[in-house]
Every structure is written in C-alpha cells, then in structure tokens.
Amino acid sequence: MRVWAVSDLHTDYPDNLKWCEDLSIKDYQEDALIVAGDVSDDLSILEQTLSLLCKRWSHVFYTFGNHELWENGRRYRRYAAA
C-alpha cells in the first residue's frame, strides 16, 4: 500500500475537476489518499470530488482546509463536528 497526499485541488475550477476525473480507476486501488483541504467552497462540488477520489483509492481521508472554513464556515461547521 502506498499513501498519497494532496491539497488545494480547488475543483470549483473545471480544469481541476477534470484532472480528478482523468485519474486512473485502477492504478491506486490498493492505496490510501489524504486530501488536506481546499477542495471547494461549494458542498455539491466537494461531494462530487470526494466521490471521484473514493472510486480510485481504497481509502480516502479528508480534512477541511481554510478555503472551506473561511469561505462558507456556516455551511461546513456542522460537518466538522461529526
């Protein structure tokens, strides 16, 4: 198992979301991915991005970044407590 880490995906930009969509479905199936925040300040895009990543890695760990919390703290605060 390999452990990968990424941050600042900013998938609210279409090119960045496309990059995630184009990642191999097979190459990372036995690996883990740490997503260290700053994915999107739009909850639906965040969910879409994490769903894409979960189809590619066997384990995905996510933490909020300052982008999510500062831009839309009210929307995300309830999820951070879970």
Q: Is the pLDDT of residue 81 over 50?
A: no
Residue 81 dihedral angles phi and psi, to the nearest 5°: -80, -15
Q: Is the pLDDT of residue 76 over 80?
A: no
Identify the CA nearest to 61 among candidates 52, 53, 73: 53
Query: Mean of the pLDDT values across residues 53-79?
Result: 77
Report helix, strand or coil for 12: coil
Q: Where do we find the tokens 């880490």?
A: 5
pLDDT digits (tens, 9 = 90+) for 2-51: 999 999 999 999 999 999 999 999 999 999 999 998 999 888 999 999 99
Q: For residue 33, how many C-alpha atoms fall within 13 Å in the half-sphere facing its CB?
A: 23
What pTM was computed for the model?
0.81
Tokens describing residue 76: 């995300």
Per-residue confidence (pLDDT) for residue 73, from 0 to 100 = 52
Query: Any idea where the domains of the chain sit in the sequence?
Result: 3-80
Per-residue pLDDT at 59 exceeds 60: yes
Q: How far apart, in whole angstroms, are the C-alpha atoms of residue 65 and residue 37? A: 4
